[in-house]
Amino acid sequence: MSMRLFPGRVSLRRRPGAQARQALVLGLCCLTGGQAWALNEVALNCSFDNGKGLPWRVVNELTSGTAKGTVLFARPVSLFLNYKPQASQEAHELVIGGNWSGVGYPGPYGTVASDVKGIGYR
């Protein structure tokens, strides 16, 4: 069984910590198993594919007049969640936690620092 998640754009630049972010996205994808929960089923062998995405594209140019919080680049990513449903006789609860290893906590505008002063990832 396969379903498409997050049809919008997600910015994930390949840099240290990208795999940790992808693992976090996978965890969030597994949280969307509402169909299995509503049917009293569990989702087995959860995985996602096509996480590499398309090339980066310019959304807004960086100039001296660019406002704080402006998105400069975007990278479309289509994620597909694959799982095998199986009936369950007891209720299950999925608990997932995660963090972005090595980049700290999100700051203003929901961004994390990059290697360029004043520019972060959101």
Domain ranges in the chain are: 2-121
Partners of 85 in beta bridges: 43
pLDDT value at residue 57: 87
How far apart are the C-alpha atoms of 118 and 67, rounded to whole Å? 11
Specify whether the CB–CB gap between 71 and 122 falls below 8 A: yes
Label residue 61 by pLDDT band (50, 70, 90): confident
- Which of 3, 45, 10 lies closest to 25 in space, CA to CA? 10
Q: Is the dihedral of CA 45, 46, 52, 54 positive or negative?
A: positive
Partners of 58 in beta bridges: 73
pTM of the shown model: 0.36
Backbone φ and ψ of 36, nearest 5°: -65, -40
pLDDT value at residue 34: 47
